[in-house]
Amino acid sequence: MATSHSSPPVPRPSDGSDAVFRKERDSASRQYKLARSLPDVCPMEPTELRGLCEGPSVVADQHRWTVYNSKVNLPAALNDPRLAKRESDFFTKSWGLDFVETEVLPSIYLPNITEEHFTAYLQEMTQREKTHESCKKIYPSKDEVTPGSSLTTNHDKSRAELEQVPKIFMRPDFALDDSATFNAVLPWTHFSVTGGKANRDIASSRLLQEKLSHYLDVVEVSIAHQISLRSEAFFHAMSSQHELQDRLCETAWAVAVLRERTAAMERVMVEGPLQALRLGLARNNCAKLHSKLKLMAAVHQTQPTVQLLLSTSEFVGALELITTTQEVLQQELQGVHSFRHLGSQLCEMEKLIDKMMIADFTTYARSDLGRPLEEDIQVLERDRLQSLVFGLLRQRKLDFLDIYDEEMIQAAKGIVKQCVVNMVSHIEEIDTEVVVKLADQMRLMTFPQWFDLLKSVFSSFILFLKRIKATLSVIRNVVLEVMDGNQRIRLAEAAAAAVGVGRASPEAPPSRDSELAYLTHEGMFISDAFSEPDQQLGGATPGPDSASGTTESSSSREQATPPLVRASGAVVNEDMMPTDLELGRVANNIQELLCTASDASHDRCVKFLMARAKDGSLERLSSSEFVCLSQEVENFVRETEQLCQRRSMSLRGALQSQANRFVHRFHEERKTKLSLLLDNERWKQAEVPTEFQDLVDSIADGRITLPEKKPAGPEERKPSEYLCVDGQKYAVVGTVLLLIRIFLEYCQCVNDIPSITTDMLTRLTDLLKHFNSRTCQLVLGAGALQVVGLKTITTKNLALASRCLQLVLHYIPIIRAHFETKLQPKQYNILRHFDHITKDYSDHIAEILAKLVAIMDSLFEKALSKYEVKAPMPSGCFRTLCKQLGKMHEAISDLLPEEQTQMLFLRINASFKLHLKRQLARLNVSNDGGPQHGLVMVDIAFYTGNVQALKSLEKLDLNLAEIWEQKR
Residue 860 has phi, psi (to 5 degrees) of -65, -45
Q: Calculate ∠ Cα 422-424-426, nearest 5°.
A: 80
pLDDT at residue 144, rounded to an integer: 53
What average pLDDT does this structure show over 832-860?
A: 93
pLDDT at residue 57, rounded to an integer: 52
pLDDT at residue 286, rounded to an integer: 93
Residues linked to residue 443 through DSSP beta bridges, in sequence order: none
Whether cis (ω within 30° of 0) applies to the bond prior to 813 is: no
Mapping DSSP to helix (H, G, I), strand (E, B) and coil, where does residue 72 land?
coil
- pLDDT tens digit sequence for 581-636: 877 788 788 888 888 888 888 888 888 888 777 767 777 777 778 888 888 888 88
- pLDDT tens digit sequence for 499-551: 765 554 444 444 433 333 333 333 333 334 334 444 444 443 333 333 333 33
Q: Which residues of 506-544 are buried (b: 16+ CB within 10 A; e: fewer)?
A: eeeeeeebbbbbbbbeeebbbbbbbbbbeebeeeeeeee
Is the Cβ–Cβ distance between 598 and 465 less than 8 Å?
yes
Residue 186 has phi, psi (to 5 degrees) of -120, 90
What average pLDDT does this structure show over 11-34?
A: 39
pLDDT at residue 280, rounded to an integer: 92
Domain count for the chain, please give it: 2
Q: Assess if residue 375 is contained within a domain.
A: yes
What average pLDDT does this structure show over 858-868?
A: 90
Residue 775 has pLDDT above 70, yes or no: yes
Alpha helices in 561-579 (DSSP H): none
CATH of the domain at 883: 1.20.1280.130
pLDDT at residue 153, rounded to an integer: 65
- pLDDT tens digit sequence for 692-736: 888 888 887 666 777 666 555 445 678 888 889 888 899 999 999
Residue 82 has phi, psi (to 5 degrees) of -75, -20
* Residue at which a domain ends, from 618, 643, 668: 643
Return the sign of the alpha-carbon dihedral for residues 91, 94, 95, 101: positive
Q: Assess if residue 540 is contained within a domain.
A: no
145-154, 558-567, 677-686, range with greatest mean pLDDT: 677-686
pLDDT at residue 928, rounded to an integer: 83
Q: Which residues of 310-335 are buried (b: 16+ CB within 10 A; e: fewer)?
A: beebbbbbbbbbbbbbbbbbeebbee
pLDDT at residue 435, rounded to an integer: 57
Q: Assess if residue 897 is contained within a domain.
A: yes
What average pLDDT does this structure show over 845-855?
A: 93
pLDDT tier, 954 (very low <50, low <70, confident <90, very high otherwise): confident
Q: Which one is predicted more confidently, 192 or 326?
A: 326
End-to-end CA distance of the chain: 174
**In angstroms, what CA-CA distances link 127 with 27, 139, 943?**
22, 18, 152
- pLDDT tens digit sequence for 127-147: 888 888 887 777 555 455 444
Q: Assess if residue 908 is contained within a domain.
A: yes
879/531 Cα distance (integer angstroms): 139
**In angstroms, what CA-CA distances link 340 with 289, 306, 343, 517, 683?**
19, 19, 7, 22, 110
pLDDT at residue 502, rounded to an integer: 55
Is the Cβ–Cβ distance between 615 and 600 less than 8 Å?
no
Q: Which helix (H) or strand (E) holds 725?
A: strand 723-725
pLDDT tier, 774 (very low <50, low <70, confident <90, very high otherwise): very high
The residue type of 137 is K
Return the sign of the alpha-carbon dihedral for residues 253, 255, 256, 258: positive
pLDDT tier, 81 (very low <50, low <70, confident <90, very high otherwise): low
* Residue at which a domain ends, from 624, 643, 662: 643
Contacts of 134 (CB under 8 A, 6+ apart): none
Q: Assess if residue 909 is contained within a domain.
A: yes
Mean pLDDT is lowest, of 124-133, 347-356, 768-777, for 347-356
Percent of the chain beyond pLDDT 70?
73
**In angstroms, what CA-CA distances link 392 with 308, 335, 536, 887?**
20, 31, 42, 99
- pLDDT tens digit sequence for 894-929: 889 999 999 999 999 999 999 998 988 898 888 888
pLDDT tier, 801 (very low <50, low <70, confident <90, very high otherwise): very high
pLDDT at residue 549, rounded to an integer: 35
CA nearest to 215, candidates 170, 151, 183 = 170
DSSP 728: E
Radius of gyration of the chain (CA): 65
Neighbours of 218 (CB within 10 A): 19
**In angstroms, what CA-CA distances link 668 with 619, 641, 665?**
12, 35, 5
Exposed (0-12), middle (13-18) or buried (19+): which is 425, by Cβ within 10 Å? exposed
CA nearest to 604, candidates 831, 413, 426, 789 = 413
Neighbours of 829 (CB within 10 A): 9
Q: Assess if residue 807 is contained within a domain.
A: no
Q: Which residue segment(s) compose the domain that 455 sits in?
A: 371-494+581-643
Q: Assess if residue 402 is contained within a domain.
A: yes
Q: Assess if residue 718 is contained within a domain.
A: no
pLDDT at residue 576, rounded to an integer: 61
Q: Which helix (H) or strand (E) holds 949?
A: none
Average pLDDT, the chain: 75
pLDDT at residue 82, rounded to an integer: 57
CA nearest to 453, candidates 208, 327, 617 = 617
- pLDDT tens digit sequence for 226-246: 878 777 777 788 888 888 888
Is the Cβ–Cβ distance between 893 and 939 less than 8 Å?
no
pLDDT at residue 334, rounded to an integer: 74
Dihedral, CA of residue 774, residue 775, residue 780 and residue 784, to nearest 10: 80
Is the Cβ–Cβ distance between 705 and 747 less than 8 Å?
yes
Is the Cβ–Cβ distance between 643 and 469 less than 8 Å?
yes
Residue 831 has pLDDT above 60, yes or no: yes
* Residue at which a domain ends, from 625, 643, 661: 643
